Amino acid sequence: MASSPDVPSVGNTPENPGNGSPSETSETCETSAASGSSEAPHAAQAAGGERRGRVRARRAAVMAVPATLVAAGLAVLTAQGALGVQFAISGMPFTVTATELNGTGFEQFGGLDNMAAGSPNAGDTGGQELVVTSAIKNATLDHLCQSVDLGGTNLLITAGAGADKVQASDLTTDSSELSGNAAFNNIEIGNDASTLTKAGVKGPIGVFSQQADTVHIANLRQTNYATTAGVFKLPGLKLRFSDSGC
Q: Are 47 and 24 in contact (CB under 8 A)?
A: no
Instruction: Give whole-number Cα distances, 116 to 86, 88, 122, 209, in Å.
Output: 12, 5, 9, 27
Q: What is the pLDDT of residue 86?
A: 64
pTM score over 0.75: no
The tally of CA atoms less than 13 A away on the side-chain side of residue 133 is: 33
Q: Are 182 and 216 in contact (CB under 8 A)?
A: yes
User: Can you tell me the mean pLDDT for 68-90?
Assistant: 49
Q: What is the pLDDT of residue 143?
A: 98
Phi, psi angle pair for 93, to nearest 5°:
-70, 150
Mean pLDDT check: name the lowest of 32-41, 144-153, 159-168, 224-233: 32-41
User: Can you tell me the mean pLDDT for 105-127?
Assistant: 94
Label residues 165-198 b or e (16+ Cβ within 10 Å = b).
bbbbebbbbbbeebebebebeeebeebebeebeb
Residue 168 bridge partners (DSSP):
139, 232
Q: What is the pLDDT of residue 175?
A: 96
Q: What is the pLDDT of residue 72?
A: 41
Q: Is the pLDDT of residue 190 over 90?
A: yes
Q: Is the pLDDT of residue 165 over 80?
A: yes
For residue 28, how far is the Cα from the chain centroid?
47
User: Can you tell me the mean pLDDT for 42-70?
Assistant: 44
Give just the sign of the alpha carbon dihedral 84, 86, 91, 97.
Answer: positive
CB atoms within 10 A of CB 128: 15
pLDDT tens-digit readout, 212-225: 999 999 999 999 99
Q: What is the pLDDT of residue 87?
A: 85
Pick 50 or 215 by higher pLDDT: 215
pLDDT tens-digit readout, 122-155: 999 999 999 999 999 999 999 999 999 999 999 9
